[in-house]
Amino acid sequence: MSIVTKLVLMIIFGFVAALYFPDSRQMIIDEAMPVLQPVLVWNAEREMEDLSRAVRRQARETYRLPGRRDWVNWLETNFSGGGGTDP
């Protein structure tokens, strides 16, 4: 069995354990966070770069930026997944 297969099985086992034993959820999250943190940071940086490009494009095309009151609506219109809230 390859190391990738073992890793995938361990991840699946962790999720099953977290679902079956509610008390183990926080422990599993705490143990997985050092591995997940770089991925979460990378994803946030990528999303912010996408947002920056969209704002610059908006400014180039319309010669104005969304107003303070329109900002949440602009985010929700241009980005899926509840762009107006910070997860």
DSSP per-residue codes, 46-81: HHHHHHHHHHHHHHHHHSSPPPTTTHHHHHHHHSTT
CA–CA separation, 4 and 62 (whole Å)? 49
Q: To the nearest whole number, what is the mean pLDDT of the chain?
A: 80
Q: Which two tokens stand for residue 75?
A: 């985010």
Convert the pLDDT of each residue in 41-79 to its tens digit.
888 888 889 889 999 998 899 888 888 888 888 888 887
Q: Global pTM?
A: 0.54
Higher pLDDT, 84 or 33: 33
Task: Flag the least confident range among 7-11, 23-27, 60-64.
Answer: 23-27
**Distance of alpha carbon 19 from the chain centroid:** 21
Residue ranges of domains in the chain? 3-78
Give residue 87's pLDDT band: very low, low, confident or very high (50, 70, 90). Answer: very low
CA–CA separation, 17 and 21 (whole Å)? 6
